[in-house]
Structure 1
Amino acid sequence: MTTSARTDSSLTDEQVASFHENGYIGPLTIYTPDEMDRMWKEIRRESLDRSHAAYPEVDAGFGAPNIFNYDRHLDVDLLARHICNRKIIDKVATLLGPDLLCWRTEFFPKYPGDEGTDWHQADTFANASGKPQLLWPGETDSNFGGGTLTVWTAFTDSTEENGCLQIIPGTHTKMNYDETRTMDFDQSRINAEIKDGVPRGFFGYDYRQLQVDADWKPNEEDAVSLVMEKGQCVIFLSTLMHASLPNVSTGKGYRMGFASRYVPTSVRVYPDTDQIEEYGGNISLDKWSAVLVSGEDTYGHNKIGTRTLRGTEYRSA
């Protein structure tokens, strides 16, 4: 990973060293709580209109994460601004270099009663379909690359009670899962399983099916719960062991996170594929594109979109 010219929003040398050692940095404040409240209220309103969304209109709302709530930055203006926010991009560029793509965003809601998320790692993101979604230069579907840099922003307060993220520091340099294997999708698993005393699942999958060693278990004694105030984010490598707690709150105590995922322009995104296959279905990538959020693309092997108001114009780089 290369570095970029420093700005006031860049990570410090100490933060970079901590990131390389631990695989994450944060929480970091991007918005004040009041700013985040106003922003989230407007995003919710805009998101109801799917007429310009990259994927077909479905009755998905903000339910369990699935492919239909991916990539709303391509049609929701405030999300488009969010993924390009210099307070985020300058930090990501400190770690990945100046030429950056945002290739995916996802909403991660967790409502009262929702299970936690399985411990997992992702490198090529072939975990559901068996086909890589990311390949770093020289990487194949069977050797270790670099995953993606995820910026997970708390759109609401994220607490241990309502299901905050958890990570295990320092676990980003070795994959404990084999992404060339496939997982079986079973919707009946959702909110139905207890793992090591904690209600956990993976949106209808069981991530343990990918374990290199079937008897291995993550060391949860080393886990860190990432409690965040709304407007804060954590930046972590997708190859870091991460999970989330169940939402055991009552009333309307839902948690909403928004993940924006970044890679250098040298990485091939959705190589040799024209659809996403996940969560028991598939969807066309015809209206998808990566967004160049910093620098320039000199490689030309990804579909790059030019953001316009209420929609995206696409061009093949």
Structure 2
Amino acid sequence: MDEQRTDFSLSPEELERFHRDGFIGPFDLYPAEEMERNLRALRPKLLNTKKAIYNSDGAMSGVTNLANYDRHLDIEFLARHITSPQIVDRVASVLGPDTLCWRTEFFPKYPGDEGTDWHQADNFSNVAGSKHPQIVWPEDAEFGGTITVWAAFTPATLENGCLQFIPGSHRTMNYDESKTMTYDADSINQQVKGGVRRGFFGYDYRQLQKDPNWSPDESKAVSQVMRQGQFIMFWSTLMHASLPHSGKTDEMRLGFAARYLPTSVRVYPYSDSLEEFGGAASLEKFGNVLVSGEDRYGHNRFVDSTVDGFRFPVRTPVGAA
């Protein structure tokens, strides 16, 4: 990490590029060797879910990716990661000085796994199947969706399933999140779309298309190769996907996504449980993390500390908008 810099805000040129393309990066966060050491220390902690807010003691039904959610609330390394100045300053450059992290997720891709469908997310209502938006922006907001910071905890390559983006596609939603996707376990690793094996955790994201005859222009797609320890930030409303894991290596690809919002956005305003992809978990222990500025609204729940007494620092970005 660059220990000499104190402000990591996006430059005016970077801001212009982010607003134009919907993504920017990658940026260096950890040297590859350091990230590998962190990952080795992290793996056994991930297996211990006793302190996880969505643990297996009756709080969760269904064995889904929910077990990988919000582990920054019980694992110190992940808590430090989401509050790192290298990330927070850049996010606050876009969202403004008062910023929260509302969710984190792990995205593993194992040898032979299919790529992820092209998709967009605005209010995250569809994956729950409950029709309740998980995030609600103020009515006069110019934006929607969330900023995702996707970190390569392992190398992300063309062979093991790196991310793909369609630049500039964040301005128009091509999907209707009020529609419903049907789960089909038999479709996993069996669908070929545009010549690429792609799916969406047993769902078909094409079922949400506003226009059934529309398809993404993959000729404009950018494949985002990242070395271990780098991160990239993008709007969730950007058309994004991932390539399949070719199986040419037996190493998994592991990404860690942290999602950020301004404190003016309401998080889980209509829900007391988190429901996604067939699983459910109580939100009783959930709390947002204030990563910069202050909460001037009072309509969201926050946590202020995590395991081992580590207290989340609150950043005051020098270059915040």
TM-score (structure 1 length as normaliser): 0.90
Which residue number corresponds to residue 133 of structure 2?
132
Which residue number corresponds to residue 3 of structure 1?
none
Tell me if the contact between 1:70 and 1:107 (Cα under 8 Å) persists in the aligned partners. yes
Tell me if the contact between 2:132 and 2:270 (Cα under 8 Å) persists in the aligned partners. no
Q: CA deviation at 1:7?
A: 5.3
1:57-136 alignment runs, 5 A limit: 57=56, 66-128=65-127, 129=129, 130-136=131-137
1:1-317 alignment runs, 5 A limit: 8-57=7-56, 66-128=65-127, 129=129, 130-138=131-139, 145-310=143-308
Query: Residue by residue, what CA displacement relative to the aligned partner does 1:227-264 show, whole Å, maximum 9, x if unpaired?
Result: 00001111000000000000003342210000000000
Tell me if the contact between 1:65 and 1:109 (Cα under 8 Å) persists in the aligned partners. no
Runs of 4+ that moved beyond 3 A: 310-313
Separation (CA, whole Å) in 1 of partners of 2:268 and 2:142: 17
Separation (CA, whole Å) in 1 of partners of 2:142 and 2:123: 8
Separation (CA, whole Å) in 2 of partners of 1:312 and 1:230: 25
Identity level (%): 57
Range that drifts further, 24-33 or 244-253 = 244-253
Query: Residue by residue, what CA displacement relative to the aligned partner does 1:27-49 show, whole Å, maximum 9, x if unpaired?
Result: 11111111111111111122121
Find the residue that maps to 2:126 and give its secondary structure.
coil
Find the residue that maps to 1:262 and give its secondary structure.
strand
Separation (CA, whole Å) in 2 of partners of 1:186 and 1:232: 34
Aligned length: 300
Range that drifts further, 237-246 or 194-203 = 194-203
- Mind listing any 5+ residue stretches in structure 1 that lack a counterpart? 1-5, 59-63
Separation (CA, whole Å) in 1 of partners of 2:290 and 2:55: 24
Separation (CA, whole Å) in 1 of partners of 2:308 and 2:126: 32
- Mind listing any 5+ residue stretches in structure 2 that lack a counterpart? 58-62, 312-321
| Counterpart amino acid of residue 155 in structure 1 | F
Separation (CA, whole Å) in 2 of partners of 1:276 and 1:135: 15
Separation (CA, whole Å) in 2 of partners of 1:152 and 1:273: 26
Separation (CA, whole Å) in 2 of partners of 1:232 and 1:269: 28
Query: Residue by residue, what CA displacement relative to the aligned partner does 1:202-236 show, whole Å, maximum 9, x if unpaired?
Result: 11111101000000000000000000000111100
Separation (CA, whole Å) in 2 of partners of 1:247 and 1:52: 32
Tell me if the contact between 2:76 and 2:310 (Cα under 8 Å) persists in the aligned partners. no
Separation (CA, whole Å) in 2 of partners of 1:207 and 1:215: 13
Separation (CA, whole Å) in 1 of partners of 2:23 and 2:90: 12
| Counterpart amino acid of residue 165 in structure 2 | I
Q: CA deviation at 1:144?
A: 8.7
Query: Residue by residue, what CA displacement relative to the aligned partner does 1:68-96 show, whole Å, maximum 9, x if unpaired?
Result: 21100010110000000011001101111
